Amino acid sequence: MFDFLIIGGGIAGISAAARIAPLGSVLVLEAEEALAHHASGRSAALYEPRYGAPAVVELSMASGDFFRAAGNILSPRGLMLVARDDQKEAFDHDLAAMDFTPISVAEAQAILPILNPDVVKMAGHAAHAEDIDTDLLLQGFAREARAHGAQILTRARVTAIRRTATGWHLTHEKGEAEARMIVNAAGAWVDQVAALAGVRPLGFTPLRRSMARIPAPAGRDVSRWPMLFGPGEDWYMKPDAGALIVSPAEEDPVDAPHDAWADDMVLAEGLARYEEFVTDPVTRVIANWAGLRTFSPDRVLVIGPDARDPAFFWLAGQGGYGFQSSPGASALAADLIAGRSPALPPALVTQLSPARFG
């Protein structure tokens, strides 16, 4: 019997495995053939701790020390916000909420030369956003988990869960397992996992977000360009491996969690919104994909034991904040499971607790 069985091998589950493994034996079950196949593997990979609801921001801020100490995980990127004349209200809101410095259009063009001055009438810049080396972070957590004895199985989709007198009995595609506690880190599938276990689902909603990779405009060196987005985040562009990724930043609910794919019409609309603000048209798409960003009813992560069955632990609802919040979220999970007083403020722990849903 394992002490802890973690369902889900994305950044939430693997970071939790690294922090929980010193507390007892750990088994991680991942349904796909590789870790981070779904939302984690399709992330925009940015550390922007001022992004999200106040509790999310606080959790992301609490992750900063880990990133700084780790070394090589973060690298400079920066953010730029641009707007038309008719978008001033949304522009002013984002400027204040995410701590941008207003700059002139000429200054913005000096940083990002493809901006169209006939359209861009307002701009803001922030240097505090940084790229996350997501593979380095994920593999570092996986190595740490294995070093403490954790076992990680891929292609091991859970098909049945049964409560026992001592914990849980699980059937998965590679066999069976027993554990004292389940940690539910199954991303878009967290409510389905809860239902399998006879635990009341909390009402998570998976939302599709599409992305396209396009060539760098006119073969330019885009490596130092900031991430660019419009007010209200109705599209964004980010340099990535010598090309650009562009997203309509949509949040379209899906009927059931699945391996998501991009919606061609939605993607085309997002590319058109991006093109409006730049001088270089999109001539071709190199690749496209989509991911499911899963949110709780209040759009704040859920971290803690289930209110009715404390042997079922929720680590869910990462939305678009999974990588940047993972150090703080996994540390909190380990503190709660170990019965330690969490390093995070008590009010934040309460805001993240599944008990808030009754």
Could you give the domains of the chain?
2-45+134-203+297-357 (3.50.50.60), 79-126+205-295 (3.30.9.10)
Residue 162 CA to residue 170 CA, distance in Å, equals: 6
**pLDDT (tens digit, 9 = 90+) per residue, 149-162?**
999 999 999 999 99
According to the model, what pLDDT value does residue 159 have? 97
Judge whether 177 and 27 are in contact, CB under 8 Å: yes
Find how far residue 150's CA is from the centre of its chain. 23
**pLDDT (tens digit, 9 = 90+) per residue, 294-333?**
999 999 999 999 999 999 999 999 998 999 999 999 999 9
Q: How many CB atoms lie within 10 A of CB 147?
A: 11
| Terminal CA-CA length for the chain | 31
**pLDDT (tens digit, 9 = 90+) per residue, 140-151?**
999 999 999 999
What is the band of 207 on the pLDDT scale with cuts at 50, 70, 90? very high
Instruction: Calculate the average pLDDT of the chain.
Output: 95
Poorest-confidence range of 181-185, 214-218, 255-259, 325-329? 255-259
Average pLDDT over residues 65-80: 94
pTM of the predicted protein model: 0.94
More confident call, 259 vs 49: 49
Judged against a pLDDT cut of 90, whether residue 43 lies above it is answered with: no
Specify burial of residue 175 (Cβ count, 10 A radius: 0-12, 13-18, 19+): exposed
According to the model, what pLDDT value does residue 258 have? 76
Judge whether 117 and 138 are in contact, CB under 8 Å: no
Judge whether 68 and 95 are in contact, CB under 8 Å: no
According to the model, what pLDDT value does residue 38 have? 66
According to the model, what pLDDT value does residue 118 have? 98
What is the band of 6 on the pLDDT scale with cuts at 50, 70, 90? very high
According to the model, what pLDDT value does residue 42 have? 62
Report the SS3 class of residue 214.
strand
Judged against a pLDDT cut of 80, whether residue 40 lies above it is answered with: no
Average pLDDT over residues 189-214: 97
- Which residues pair with residue 123 across a beta bridge? 82, 103
Residue with tokens 């006119």: 218
The letter for the amino acid at 252 is D
Average pLDDT over residues 127-131: 93
